[in-house]
Copies of this chain bind each other. A is one copy, B any other.
Amino acid sequence: MAPVQECFISAPGKCILHGEHAVVHGKVALAVSLNLRTYLRLQVTSTAEVSISLPNIDTFLSWDVSVLKPLLSHCKGECRSSTELDTELVRKLREFTAIADGSTDTRSMAVLAFLYTYLCVFAHSEWSEQELELINNWAFQGEKIIHGNPSGVDNAVGTWGGFLRYHAGKITPLSRVPTLRILLTNTKKYHAVPNSSFPKVKDRINQYPSVMAPVLESVDAVSQICERTLAEMATEGASAKHYSTLEDLIDINQHHLNVMGVSHTSLNTLCQVTLTHGLHSKLTGAGGGGCAITLLTPETGESVVRGVVEELKQVGFDCWEAVSAPGVLMHSPTSLTHSVLDILTKY
């Protein structure tokens, strides 16, 4: 019997370094991929079934391919481009999976995004040479389903990895960058649904345009100084002064995000806790709760990190230590750590 064909793929975690919210208003944003990877094991089966096992969110589902294929019937092929979301297919998939229009829980969104991507990739008979472009575009469609109005930064940084600059719809990788150590913390607290913070920022800008326009300007400058500093660190070697600048920028931006109204008491608590250990933090992404990043420097000893993490866990937060990392990767099974391989082959 021939061995079951399989492959291992991973994509990095990511965080927004600077520019969340401001990016929506034409300002520069910086994103970086982290070595907190999501691994995927693709396995050819002998049955006519498509199965997904997402143990993290306790989701294990199977469908017969013959049931899935007709869902593409409305489309002659041309509508299944990789840059435009096929909303008719999304509608059909919601009907098929009985996921109601308003429901945005993690499992429903994961299943919808998976089925959409599976069906459209499946419908494509050929792959272009620009596989990363394709992966990025498919990931973007997933983002559209899950997020609604994505900037495109998240899928891009997951695909290409490293540091990305985002400005006025254009995503550019930074060519010369250092490796950053980052403590990623999930406060698990939210004002409301994370995406609902977007209209709030717009409201505040409309309410106080003369106050908010300069704040966005300042965030733009923060992103640009950060970009310059990262380039200097890569070319000249990282110095304490560089890290001090990165820390200043983090503090400044966190206050700006507070002014935009997208912080949360839990995030401000986090900033205070890390500051008592000499570390600087800011929210990352949509805000209104959720995740924060804390910059770790070469001077940050392991005992300091342990102390901070312990204190943050006591408040009820989850922490992961991470470094900036490459984008989507194909792995040989032997290159994976045992713990990752164990989980991937368990289901």
Contact = CB atoms under 8 A, between A and B. Distances in A.
B211 A225 contact: yes
Main secondary structure of the interface of A (DSSP, over half): helix
Nearest to A215: B218
A217 interface: yes
A225 B248 contact: no
A217 B214 CA distance: 6
A315 interface: no
B221 A214 contact: yes
Contacts of A258: 251, 255
Contacts of A35: none
A222 interface: yes
B248 A252 contact: no
A329 interface: no
B214 A214 contact: yes
A256 interface: yes
A38 interface: no
A268 B258 CA distance: 13
A265 interface: yes
A225 B213 CA distance: 14
Interface string A201-217: 00000011011101101
A269 to B, nearest CB: 9
A75 interface: no
A252 to B, nearest CB: 5
Interface in A235-286: 248-249, 251-252, 255-256, 258-259, 265, 268, 272
A221 B217 contact: no
Contacts of A212: 218
A224 interface: yes
Given A255-B258, A255-B259, A256-B255, A221 B211 contact: yes
Interface pairs A-B: 10 shortest CB-CB? A214-B214, A210-B221, A214-B217, A214-B218, A255-B255, A211-B221, A255-B258, A255-B259, A252-B259, A211-B218
Interface of A: 207-208, 210-212, 214-215, 217-218, 221-222, 224-225, 248-249, 251-252, 255-256, 258-259, 265, 268, 272
11 contacts: A207-B248, A208-B221, A208-B248, A211-B221, A211-B249, A215-B215, A215-B218, A217-B217, A252-B259, A255-B255, A255-B258
Given A211-B249, A252-B259, A255-B258, 8 more contacts: A208-B252, A210-B225, A211-B221, A211-B225, A214-B215, A251-B258, A256-B259, A265-B272
